[in-house]
């Protein structure tokens, strides 16, 4: 296996010079030498030792994407197509800067602290955080971090979010404008101050705008998986009075549609469904799913840029970004 010493000998430079190039400290090396050294690195398929690098820098080149598992959230995040797309955009961006990605579900604050210490993480991107003890631990760890889809009230924290309430309002209005008056809301467990709570508020706002009373019995909660969605679809198939369904995620909407179909209930002829995310599932369902579009790639890129600026101690132009949403109409809603 080729070493830094081997590369330095062939290039006719010091080991320090090669190390500077490998670790992106190119300002200390002339462009000609940088090009020469990289050609040798690529030819020899050299990969730096992560352990040696972390010991030398006190931090590894690993960035963690962390999901906090709570009693209200025990499903597999990796099974969500939106999360996969989001993580893919992060990995592509950090790869260009020489970083590596760790994806981890963490149960409590102690586990997070141990993880950060053991792996010498350079930074964290955290999804679905709440203003609680877990969040306080994140701040106390003292490494750069960015929150995704979190409604933490802290002006110093970097976060990237979405028009969650407005998106759910759009989804519900789509059904109401098409004549539906008994509309259900389907989501994972609803925790005050979180994304799903905001989407429930959007659902309720739309009902109020149309003079439709809010009925808590029309709110159904379960994990966001296809199988749980199918179970809910089979349950809703037994409720002919419900004609419209707002699902808080496309993966849940797809499951509901499958469950309805198993029971001979047709979409949109018998029940209309609107999702949220606009990932690939929305185009694969039969019929294609009307849904709320959000830009998963842009969310990941913005979060990563914020984090890398923190790591490099560069100015951050905007510490809080809320991305817009829009309704994408396909074939899962009919006028009644």
Which pLDDT band, with edges at 50, 70 and 90, does 224 fall under? confident
3-state secondary structure of 21: helix
pLDDT of 111 reads: 87
Please give the angle made by the CA atoms of 31, 48 and 27, to the nearest 5 degrees.
25
Q: Cα–Cα distance between 170 and 184 in angstroms, integer?
A: 14
Average pLDDT over residues 229-253: 97
3-state secondary structure of 106: strand
What is the reported pTM? 0.81
Contact (Cβ atoms closer than 8 angstroms) between residue 256 and residue 229:
yes
What's the token pair of residue 241? 């009075």
- DSSP letter at 45? T
Q: Cα–Cα distance between 286 and 327 in angstroms, integer?
A: 18
- Neighbouring residues of 139: CB distance < 8 A, sequence distance ≥ 6: none
- What domains are defined for the chain? 4-48 (no CATH), 62-162+296-325 (3.40.50.2300), 164-294 (3.40.50.2300)
Instruction: Work out the number of other CB atoms within 10 angstroms of the CB of residue 217.
Output: 6
pLDDT tens digits, 101-127: 999 888 888 888 888 877 889 999 999
Of 107-116, 161-170, 193-202, the one with minimum mean pLDDT is 107-116
Q: Identify the residue with better confidence: 322 or 85.
A: 322
Average pLDDT over residues 298-326: 95
Instruction: Work out the number of other CB atoms within 10 angstroms of the CB of residue 205.
Output: 16
């Amino acid at each position: 296996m080729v070493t830094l010493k081997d590369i330095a000998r062939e290039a006719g430079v010091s080991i320090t010079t090669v190390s500077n190039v490998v670790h992106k400290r190119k300002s200390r090396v002339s462009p000609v030498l940088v090009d020469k050294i990289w050609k040798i690195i690529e030819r020899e398929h050299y990969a730096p030792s992560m352990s040696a690098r972390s010991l030398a820098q006190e931090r590894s080149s690993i960035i963690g994407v962390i999901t906090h598992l709570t009693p209200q959230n025990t499903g597999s995040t990796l099974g969500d197509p939106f999360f996969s797309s989001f993580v893919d955009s992060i990995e592509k961006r950090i790869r260009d800067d020489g970083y590596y990605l760790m994806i981890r579900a963490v149960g409590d604050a102690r586990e997070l602290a141990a993880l950060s210490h053991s792996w010498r993480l350079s930074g964290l991107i955290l999804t679905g955080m709440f203003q609680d003890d877990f969040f306080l631990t994140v701040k106390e760890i003292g490494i750069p971090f960015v929150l995704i889809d979190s409604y933490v009230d802290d002006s110093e924290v970097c976060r990237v979010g979405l028009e969650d309430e407005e998106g759910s309002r759009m989804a519900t209005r789509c059904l109401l404008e098409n004549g539906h008056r008994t509309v259900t809301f389907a989501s994972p467990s609803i925790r005050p101050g979180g994304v799903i709570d905001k989407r429930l508020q959007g659902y309720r706002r739309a009902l109020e705008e149309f003079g439709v009373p809010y009925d808590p019995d029309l709110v159904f909660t379960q994990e966001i998986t296809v199988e749980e969605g199918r179970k809910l679809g089979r349950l809703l198939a037994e409720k002919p009075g419900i004609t419209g369904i707002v699902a808080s995620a496309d993966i849940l909407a797809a499951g509901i549609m499958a469950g309805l179909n198993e029971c001979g209930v047709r979409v949109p002829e018998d029940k209309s469904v609107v999702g949220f995310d606009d990932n690939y599932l929305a185009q694969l369902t039969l019929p294609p799913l009307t849904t709320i579009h959000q830009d998963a790639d842009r969310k990941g890129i913005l979060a990563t840029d914020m984090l890398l600026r923190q790591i490099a101690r560069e100015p951050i132009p905007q510490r809080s970004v809320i991305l817009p949403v829009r309704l994408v109409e396909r074939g899962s809603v009919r006028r009644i």
